[in-house]
Amino acid sequence: MTRLRLHKYLAQCGVASRRQAEALIAAGRVRVDAEVVSEQGRLVAPESQRITCDGREVRPATRLIYILLNKPKGYVTTTRDPQGRPTVLSLLPPMRERLFPVGRLDLDTEGALLLTNDGEFAHRVLHPSFDSEKTYEAVIRGAPDGQTLQKLARGLVLEDGPTAPCAAKFLAILPSGHSRVRIVLHEGRKRQVKRMLAAVGHPVLALRRTAYGRLRLDGLAVGEYRFLSADDLKKFFL
């Protein structure tokens, strides 16, 4: 009888990414044979045990779905929100499959966001070991000089440790006197772009993710989405 780690089984069934599945378990939202399981690393036998999340039985996904959304401001990137704010799922049509967002964008951040029911794919997109690129464009206060851009590119020491090297490019001075820059990351810490730019004295005024790897929004208007093809998925990884 096959036994799997509970968080890995949840990911394989499309409930969430592995990291998000661990959070669901820790929150007591997962049951195995009616028992609430909150410890990590629990082994389960899906063929003989009934596994539920939020009261719904967890079974392997029958159809894998991948969607690219141009997220607007004002939407949270979660499947539900205790504060009653609109979630990114409300921008999609009703579907039988249980989709979840891959990673997060802040409430006031726009741009490329992947939604899927493929937990293993989400794990690959999010995990630093797979070196998945994410490109951001930011409107920042003031204009950085070349030395500041080099400092960003080499990596900074933030409160949660040093950042990995990245690409940082000046794009334009705006009529307001602020400027636009492009940052390409190979990691994805919480609010990383905002924290990096604040650390060099150029706070972010507006932020937009424009690409995952070579996959770009390609004319998708804010709030629009499209289903991804197999060729699209290859563009996530250079």
Beta-sheet strands, E only, within 163-203: 167-173, 179-185
Tokens of residue 127, six digits: 């995990």
| Helix ranges (DSSP H) in 44-159 | 119-126, 146-154
All residues at 6 or more sequence positions from 189 whose CB lies less than 8 Å from its CB, including other chains:
158, 160, 163, 195
Name the nearest CA neighbour of 207 among 134, 156, 146, 154: 134
Catalytic annotation present for 33:
no
CA distance 117 to 86: 20
Between strands 204-212 and 110-116, the pairing is parallel
Catalytic residue among 33, 54, 81, 106: 106
Based on DSSP, count helices (H) and strands (E) in the chain, helices before strands.
6, 17
| Active site members | 106
